[in-house]
Structure formats: C-alpha cells, structure tokens
Amino acid sequence: MNHAHTPTPHHGASHGHHHEQAQAHEQAHEQAMDGQAEILDLDAEVVAEHTASVTAWLPLPTAPHHIVDLGCGTGAGTFALLDRFPGAHITAVDASAEHLQRLRTKACTRGTQERVHTVQADLDEATWPDLGSPDLVWASASMHHMAHPERALRNVHDALVPGGLFAVVELAGHPRFLPADAPEERPGLEERIHAAADRRQAGHMPHRGADWGPMLTAAGFTVEGERAITVNLDGSRSEAIGRYATGILRRIRGIVADRLTPEDLTALDQLLDTGGPHSILRRDDLTVRTERTVWAARRT
C-alpha cells in the first residue's frame, strides 16, 4: 500500500488520542480509496469492449508513440491503449499514489512495466510536471474533476506535439443497474438515490455531464469527432456486474444516506447486504446502463 499518507508516528502519552484519530482517519481514507480502486477495476472489466471500440475509433493517421493518460486511476485507459498501440509507451498521471501503485503492480503482472511510467501530480496546480511531448493525451472520467478545466485544457494543448490528439471521455452520471420497479417494496429506489446524489454533487463537480466541445475549441483545439457510447449490458454476462453494482451503490450510499427516507435507506441496505436474501448479488434482473461521450480534439 502507499506510504505517502502514513501519519507521522507520535511520541508520548499526551499524543495518544491524536494518534488514534490520525490512524482512524488514515484507515477511513484507505478504505475509501480501496473502494474507489475496486470500482475502477470493475468498471474497466465491465466496459472493456466499449473502451476498445473508443480506442479503435480515434482519428489517428499514424499510431502514437507517446501517450499521456491524465487522471489514469488504476489504469482502465492505460492498459486499453497499451493493447491497442503495441509500439507506444504511456505516462500515467494521477493525484492518488494508491491508484498509481495499483497500476504499476498490474503493469508488472502483464509484463508491460517497461512501457509505463507513472507520475503523481495534482492537475489542479497551475503548472504541471513535464509530461514529455505526447502525440496522444487521453482523459477518461477525469476532466470533470478539475477545479479549473479551462486551464487544464490549455495545459494539455501546450503539452501535445502539433498535430497531436486529445481524447476526452466523459460520463453524465453513475450507471444504473436495477429495473424501474425494483426493489419490490420501494420501486424506483435507484433513481431517487441518484437524484439525491446529483443534487449533492452538482455544487463541487459542476462540469460533470458538460459539453466539452466548446471548451476544447476555446482552448485552441479543433474538435474532429464526437461520439456517444451507449452501454447496455445484461447482468448475466459477467459475475463482475453484481459486484460493480454493489460497489457503486455502496459509494453513493455514503453520499446520500442522510437525504433518504428511512424506508429507502433500509431497502438500500438490504440490497447492499451481500449475505442477505435481498442482496444485489442474488438478483437475476441486473443490467448495466450508462452513456459516455468521447471528443477527439486536434492540436493544429
């Protein structure tokens, strides 16, 4: 696990309480990050075919040599791009040391560690570390996290070689898994949960679901393509789908628990109780439904 966030050991009894607090904070942080890492890995697995179709669609006259994956997470895009472009090497950038560590471990398992270089950086900073001269920059589900997207887009523009391509993949919201009439006692529960989460998150992620085309143009890019990807998968395709649904809904529970009615919260907890009779894992009517949009923007 990452050591960057390990709290400095405290000495002396008077610091015991703070030390426990710091440890509890650290554990909560690591659990949250593990939760996110697990979801990112499951997402990569579940939508792998769609991601492959996006990398195949990119308007690239020649195969890229140097790719930057911005906000790479645990490597969903990195590994799809390594597969698609066997001659390329990738600089994978993220703020999370844990995600980068996980990505490096996967690269070793796959024998691609020589082709991946990780950089830990906060892309909200005005000045970015030197990312080399990429001919393709990929940012999937990361641009909407940026506090200053216009500045980030200009940084990407300046980093790319002339003629290089920026691929932005974004999603309007979290995927849906349940039928509208589920669960039996609280039909429509999933939509109510998402509505509550959207209201809470709109304030600090105003660019989620935005139209990136005009912003890319304003940053100096020529938008050469835009494509909407509809994911609609039957839950029976893979056992990962049940775990993916559980992971996503558990995370959303953390955001909205205090905004749900007691009846909805109980029904949600029953879905999330993986050992219980109402567990999502026991359902045979799950689907994965989500929309993604890709913009291909050229630095001319």
Ligand X SMILES: C[S@@+](CC[C@H](N)C(=O)[O-])C[C@H]1O[C@@H](n2cnc3c(N)ncnc32)[C@H](O)[C@@H]1O
Minimum CB separation from ligand X for residue 201, in Å? 12
Minimum CB separation from ligand X for residue 74, in Å? 7
Complex with ligand X: residue 64 or 71, whichever CB lies closer: 71
Q: Which whole-number Å values give the CA distances from 256 to 105, 186, 194, 199, in the listed order?
A: 33, 16, 9, 10
Q: Which of the residues 84 through 103 are near ligand X (CB under 6 A)?
A: 94-96, 99
CA atoms 181, 182, 184, 185: torsion sign: negative
Minimum CB separation from ligand X for residue 293, in Å? 13
Window contacting ligand X (CB under 6 A); options: 3-11, 37-45, 110-118, 201-209: 37-45
Minimum CB separation from ligand X for residue 141, in Å? 4
For residue 293, report the phi and psi dihedrals to the nearest 5 degrees. -125, 140
List, in order, residues 6 or more apart from 264 with CB less than 8 Å away.
Answer: 186, 189, 192, 193
Complex with ligand X: residue 119 or 281, whichever CB lies closer: 119
Minimum CB separation from ligand X for residue 90, in Å? 12
Complex with ligand X: residue 93 or 182, whichever CB lies closer: 93
Complex with ligand X: residue 66 or 99, whichever CB lies closer: 99
Tell me how far apart the alpha carbons of residues 153 and 182 are, in angstroms, rounded to a whole number: 41
- CA-based max dimension of the chain: 65
Rg of the chain taking only CA atoms, in angstroms: 21
- Which residue has the CB atom at the shortest distance from ligand X? 73
Q: Which whole-number Å values give the CA distances from 123 to 73, 93, 219, 286, in the listed order?
A: 13, 9, 16, 36
Q: Which of the residues 103 through 162 are near ligand X (CB under 6 A)?
A: 122-124, 140-142, 145
Q: Which whole-number Å values give the CA distances from 50 to 106, 123, 275, in the listed order?
A: 21, 26, 32
Minimum CB separation from ligand X for residue 117, in Å? 16
For ligand X, the binding residue among 71, 134, 175, 247 (CB under 6 A) is 71
For ligand X, the binding residue among 47, 54, 55, 77 (CB under 6 A) is 77
Complex with ligand X: residue 118 or 246, whichever CB lies closer: 118
**32-43: buried (b, 16+ CB within 10 Å) or exposed (e) per residue?**
ebeebbbbbbbb
**Residue 294 touches ligand X, criterion: CB under 6 A:** no
Question: Residue 225: how many CB atoms within 10 A of its CB?
Answer: 14
Residues that bind ligand X (CB under 6 A): 40, 43-44, 71-73, 76-77, 94-96, 99, 122-124, 140-142, 145
